[in-house]
């Protein structure tokens, strides 16, 4: 189980990164591959890189001392992981699938990147958008019911990575139920029951456990806002 697995179960993140780095550009950034389940960085590590996700999905999370976990985000291609306001990462980050990354090496004593004003501007834009996304997630965590949370979550994924054939939209869930639970502030049982309910109502289908088919997108959207 993720929730209780100690950090030491995985290799040290530095080692993982070193192992899978393929030197791309000699300059400030290079390309790296990380396989499923491996860690990009840990809470407390030196924040030497900013990770641009090019392919695959990562999960960032934070642990409380008693094992409770909050998943902070699922990072899809185009997203950035590892932004830090000081010298350290403040979350764990793990590959949920085989991941291709662009690593931007960071001056260890500066949040921003020297001689890269454009990249800094991009980062600022990204950070501002991230703040906005997180604010939306605040509403989700603070004020929405279980059904609303799950429906909102599915809609976000549908809009972002859904494949539309004729009438339905289909997408993969690279994360397991406990990841979803810890993202939405619920339990795995509640996630499961809610998905079952949505399926029973004909709003979605679950061809495989980690694959969703949205049959009634408008009904799903309605459920994300009320009840």
Partner DNA sequence: CGTCTATTTGAGTTAGCTCAACCGTCGTGG
Partner DNA sequence: CCACGACGGTTGAGCTAACTCAAATAGACG
Phi, psi of 161 (to 5 degrees): -130, 10
Is residue 196 within 8 Å of residue 17, measured between CB atoms?
Answer: no
Q: Does 179 bind its own copies (CB under 8 A)?
A: no
Is residue 93 within 8 Å of residue 40, measured between CB atoms?
Answer: yes
What is the contact surface with DNA in residues (CB under 7 A)?
1, 145-147, 176-178, 185-193, 195-196, 206, 208-210
Q: Does 105 bind its own copies (CB under 8 A)?
A: no
In the complex, what is the shortest distance from the CB of residue 209 to DNA, in angstroms, rounded to a whole number?
4
Q: Does 127 bind its own copies (CB under 8 A)?
A: yes
From its phi and psi, is residue 44 left (phi > 0), alpha (psi between -120 and 50) or beta?
left
Instruction: Tell me which of 19, 139, 159, 209 binds its own copies, using CB under 8 A.
Output: 139
Q: Does 109 bind its own copies (CB under 8 A)?
A: no
Instruction: Tell me which of 142, 167, 200, 208 binds its own copies, using CB under 8 A.
Output: 142
Q: What count of other Cβ atoms lies within 10 Å of the Cβ of residue 42?
A: 19
CA–CA separation, 75 and 173 (whole Å): 13
Pick what 11 binds: DNA, its own copies, none; C-beta below 5 to 8 Å, kind-dependent: none
Q: Which residues pair with 59 in a beta bridge?
A: 74, 94
Q: Which is nearer to its own copies, 46 or 55 (CB)?
A: 46
Task: Report the chain's terminal Cα–Cα distance, integer Å.
Answer: 31
Pairing of strands 39-41, 29-34: unpaired
Place of tokens 């980062």: 123
CA–CA separation, 155 and 147 (whole Å): 12
Q: Does 85 bind its own copies (CB under 8 A)?
A: yes
Q: Which is nearer to its own copies, 36 or 132 (CB)?
A: 132
Instruction: Tell me which of 38, 39, 59, 137 binds its own copies, using CB under 8 A.
Output: 137
Q: Which is nearer to DNA, 64 or 108 (CB)?
A: 64
* Interacting residues with its own copies (CB under 8 A): 62, 64-66, 68-70, 72, 83-85, 90-91, 111-112, 117, 120-121, 123-125, 127-132, 134-139, 141-143, 182-185, 225-226
């Amino acid at each position: 189980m993720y929730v209780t697995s100690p950090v030491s179960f995985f290799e040290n993140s530095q080692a993982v990164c070193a192992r899978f780095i393929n030197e791309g550009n000699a300059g400030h950034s290079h390309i790296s591959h990380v396989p499923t389940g491996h860690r990009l960085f840990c809470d407390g590590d030196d924040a030497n890189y900013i990770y641009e996700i090019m392919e695959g999905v990562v999960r960032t999370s934070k642990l409380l001392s008693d094992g409770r976990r909050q998943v902070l985000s699922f990072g899809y291609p185009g997203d950035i992981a590892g932004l830090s306001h000081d010298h350290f990462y403040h979350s764990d980050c793990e590959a949920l699938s085989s991941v291709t990354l662009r690593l931007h090496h960071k001056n260890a004593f500066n949040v921003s990147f020297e001689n890269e004003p454009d990249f800094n501007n991009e980062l600022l834009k990204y950070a501002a958008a991230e703040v906005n996304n997180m604010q939306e997630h605040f509403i989700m965590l603070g004020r929405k019911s279980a059904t609303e949370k799950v429906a909102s979550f599915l809609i976000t994924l549908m809009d972002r990575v859904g494949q539309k054939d004729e009438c339905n939209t289909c997408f993969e869930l690279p994360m397991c139920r406990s990841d979803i639970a810890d993202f939405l502030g619920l339990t795995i049982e509640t996630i499961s029951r809610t998905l079952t309910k949505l399926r029973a109502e004909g709003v979605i289908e679950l061809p495989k456990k980690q694959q969703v088919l949205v049959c009634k997108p408008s009904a799903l959207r309605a459920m994300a806002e009320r009840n």
